[in-house]
A = this chain, B = another copy of it.
Amino acid sequence: MERFSVPATSAVSLSDPFFAPRVEANRTATIPACLRFCEETHRLESFDLKWKDGDKWYPHIYWDSDVAKVVEGMARELARRPDPALAERLDAVARRIVAAQQPDGYLNTHFTQVEPEKRWSNLHECHELYCAGHLIEAAVAHFEATGERFFLDAMRRYADCIAKTFGRKRGQKRGYPGHEELELALCRLADATGERKYLDLAAYFVDERGRKPNYYVKKEGWQEGRLTYLQAHEPPREQREAVGHAVRWAYLCCGMADVAAATGDAGLFDACRAMWENATGRRMLVTGGIGTTREGEAFERDFKLGNLTAYAESCAAIGLALFSRRMHEITGEGRYLDVLERALYNGIPSGISLSGDRFFYQNPLASNADSPYDRERQSWFSCSCCPTNFARFWPQAAQLCWALSPGEVRLCVPAASELKLENGLCLKVESRYPYDGKVAVRVSGDARPAGTSAGAQARSAARSLAPFALSLRIPDWCPKFSLAVNGKRVAAKAKDGFVSIERLWKPGDEVALDLAMPVRVLRAHDAVEADAGRIALQRGPLVYALESVDNGPGLHRISIPAKQAFRLVRAKGLPRGTVAIAGKAFETTRPGDALYSAAAPRTRLRRFVAIPYALWQNRGLSEMQVWTRES
């Protein structure tokens, strides 16, 4: 079913002003910081299986996943860019993990050390299969980066152990992951190994979930009423609404989409589509954040989208991006990338400092003295899923900008980047995106990769001569665009979010795309109570926010007229090239000290400055708000 795929990590690189510094900070700051915390908190040590009752530390049920995610990040980073020191460190950690494997293939440091008799007995709460999923993802990334099989083979044995334990045969448990993740990991394992059985296991987990009688209720004593929390209230293929814990939901959807793509299961895909529509059309913040309430880190009802209270876990935005990428790969529809891009430029990067070593777990749309969440990014959390998720996410950023299919190359996000094609050509994107809509794609390279045989050269030459379509995404926020090939204007209409030019591309060819990038005044759906009478500013893919650092304290007193000529200005104290929006605002004050008064208010004209939401709280403690009252 899948129509598009991502390019290999090594085939792409970024040089844009937004992601490239994040990817670099991931290598120099995020990964080292996560490794350090994994050591300091005994997460790594836990794999040595030397924990004893009475020790000062205790192997937590989700620790293995944190280490696995850092390892995945290290492997993806290594695949992106050779680094002997990193390779050595990765090898050491991977071997330390594998050494904890039990003779039957089982690998979980909590259950092995703390309660070995309770293996697989509390799936709904204990993250056992979730940790397995992340270990498998780490092993696949390790294999792809190094070509070495020891970790992958170990995780195959673990997957085989899981396949033996779970299923519909006599003597097997009919359980499934309490925190979904393993489903998508098994699909990756099936891809990496070519072994269908792992896909079948993923399909089993997706299909068995939520069946009646409910496994969690019957076997583990979980409450019927709390099944929505983990999307086990009905079989996923019957689900149409995005409910429960948002990260669990997003990972489940990724797994469902993977299974649907690999098996052509149209019913499963329909459920994915319906849930994606519900999540993004009625339950998503303007930043691409999902899971708006702290209670259960979960989705709320349609259109309930508070600002100060918006939970929007960093991991959930990452999950939504990964799910949306898959939906595009299956359908080729650009609207999935519109959401991917929204998360990519807003709700995901807001979770991490520009320095790469400070993190937000929650990403609300307003923050002030009354915020129920952290007002400054933290270096680590006791439940530290978000930092380690960034470690493995940023090395994928360049891949998310492109999509490939036989005969088509798609530029999904026109950040400055380079893609090496198998035919020897190289596509280089030049732009200041997301700060400017002018994009040039230059074709370079030739058909003769250096140092190859004459035969290979001939084959390359033949490939390079085949025509292919170069498709450029026209984002949902773009009101108009122009396109030129080699300086000649092309009248192209966007279809499903893309304009496409099919031709025999040759080195020296150049495509120029000019995406109009005005400041857009957004309003939320009428049903969104929290945003009534409020506007948000978006320019290009960036959603903007006011910070008190620029505007002084008391952001709630500011209102902005929607109709005005906004100006683009330099953002003070943020990286060179960052574009801020300035304009006129009103500030209303009511005279007197009385708590309530009928005194006439005074309104003064003033200036406001808004910066990209993704970059807030990089200049110290600050009030922040995305939705401002319209005046």
Give the nearest-CB partner of A526 in chain B: B589
Would you give the 0/1 interface string for A507-526, flagging 1 where the beta carbon is closer than 8 Å to chain B? 00000000000001111111
Contacts of A556 in B (CB 8 A): 529, 532
Q: A304-B370, A370-B304 are in contact. Are A596 and B533 (CB under 8 A)?
A: no
Near B by CB (< 8 A), chain A positions 299-346 give: 301, 303-304
One of A180-188, A279-287, A388-396, A480-488 at the interface? A279-287
**A557 within 8 Å of B by Cβ?**
yes
Contacts of A526 in B (CB 8 A): 554, 557, 589-590
* Most chain B C-beta atoms within 10 Å of own C-beta, residue among A524, A525, A629: A525
**A382 within 8 Å of B by Cβ?**
no
Judging by beta carbons under 8 Å apart, are B368 and A284 in contact? no
Contacts of A280 in B (CB 8 A): 595
Q: A304-B370, A370-B304 are in contact. Are A597 and B533 (CB under 8 A)?
A: no
Smallest distance from the beta carbon of A301 to chain B beta carbons, Å? 8
Contacts of A524 in B (CB 8 A): 590, 595-596
Judging by beta carbons under 8 Å apart, are A532 and B520 in contact? no
**A272 within 8 Å of B by Cβ?**
no
Contacts of A590 in B (CB 8 A): 523-526
**A450 within 8 Å of B by Cβ?**
no
Q: Which of B284, B528, B559, B596 sits near A525, CB closer than 8 Å?
A: B596
Contacts of A594 in B (CB 8 A): 281, 525
Judging by beta carbons under 8 Å apart, are A596 and B523 in contact? yes
Smallest distance from the beta carbon of A623 to chain B beta carbons, Å? 10
Smallest distance from the beta carbon of A543 to chain B beta carbons, Å? 9
A375–B284 Cα gap in the complex (Å)? 27
Judging by beta carbons under 8 Å apart, are A370 and B522 in contact? no
Give the nearest-CB partner of A280 in chain B: B595
Judging by beta carbons under 8 Å apart, are B368 and A536 in contact? no
Q: How many copies does the complex hold?
A: 2
Give the nearest-CB partner of A369 in chain B: B301
Judging by beta carbons under 8 Å apart, are B529 and A588 in contact? no
Smallest distance from the beta carbon of A276 to chain B beta carbons, Å? 13
Would you give the 0/1 interface string for A565-595, flagging 1 where the beta carbon is closer than 8 Å to chain B? 0000000000000000000000011100111
Q: Which of B368, B520, B601, B629 sits near A523, CB closer than 8 Å?
A: B601
Q: A533-B533, A533-B629 are in contact. Are A525 and B595 (CB under 8 A)?
A: yes
**A85 within 8 Å of B by Cβ?**
no
Contacts of A92 in B (CB 8 A): none
Smallest distance from the beta carbon of A550 to chain B beta carbons, Å? 19
**A454 within 8 Å of B by Cβ?**
no
**A598 within 8 Å of B by Cβ?**
yes
Judging by beta carbons under 8 Å apart, are B304 and A523 in contact? no
Judging by beta carbons under 8 Å apart, are B370 and A529 in contact? yes
Near B by CB (< 8 A), chain A positions 266-282 give: 280-282
Give the nearest-CB partner of A282 in chain B: B595
Give the nearest-CB partner of A309 in chain B: B309
Contacts of A282 in B (CB 8 A): 595
Q: A526-B589, A590-B525 are in contact. Are A596 and B557 (CB under 8 A)?
A: no
Judging by beta carbons under 8 Å apart, are A595 and B557 in contact? no
Contacts of A532 in B (CB 8 A): 556-557, 588, 629
Smallest distance from the beta carbon of A533 to chain B beta carbons, Å? 5
Give the nearest-CB partner of A558 in chain B: B532
* Most chain B C-beta atoms within 10 Å of own C-beta, residue among A280, A368, A369, A522: A522
A301–B371 Cα gap in the complex (Å)? 13
A77–B491 Cα gap in the complex (Å)? 87
Judging by beta carbons under 8 Å apart, are B368 and A533 in contact? no
Q: Which of B301, B525, B529, B598 sits near A593, CB closer than 8 Å?
A: B525
Contacts of A588 in B (CB 8 A): 532-533
Near B by CB (< 8 A), chain A positions 598-615 give: 598-599, 601
Contacts of A521 in B (CB 8 A): 598
Smallest distance from the beta carbon of A452 to chain B beta carbons, Å? 50
Q: Which of B369, B593, B598 sits near A522, CB closer than 8 Å?
A: B598
User: What are 21 A-to-B residue pairs whose CB atoms are below 8 Å?
Assistant: A281-B593, A281-B595, A282-B595, A286-B595, A304-B370, A368-B529, A521-B598, A522-B596, A523-B601, A524-B590, A525-B594, A525-B595, A525-B596, A526-B557, A527-B554, A532-B557, A533-B533, A533-B559, A533-B588, A533-B629, A536-B596
Q: Which residues of A contact B (CB under 8 A)?
A: 280-282, 284, 286, 301, 303-304, 368-370, 520-529, 532-533, 536, 538, 554, 556-557, 559, 588-590, 593-599, 601, 629
Besides the known contacts A520-B598, A526-B589, A533-B533, 16 further A-B residue pairs in the complex with CB atoms under 8 A apart: A280-B595, A281-B593, A286-B596, A303-B595, A304-B370, A522-B596, A522-B597, A523-B598, A523-B601, A525-B593, A525-B596, A526-B554, A532-B557, A532-B588, A533-B588, A536-B596
* Nearest 6 pairs of A and B residues by beta carbon: A532-B556, A520-B598, A529-B556, A523-B590, A533-B629, A522-B596
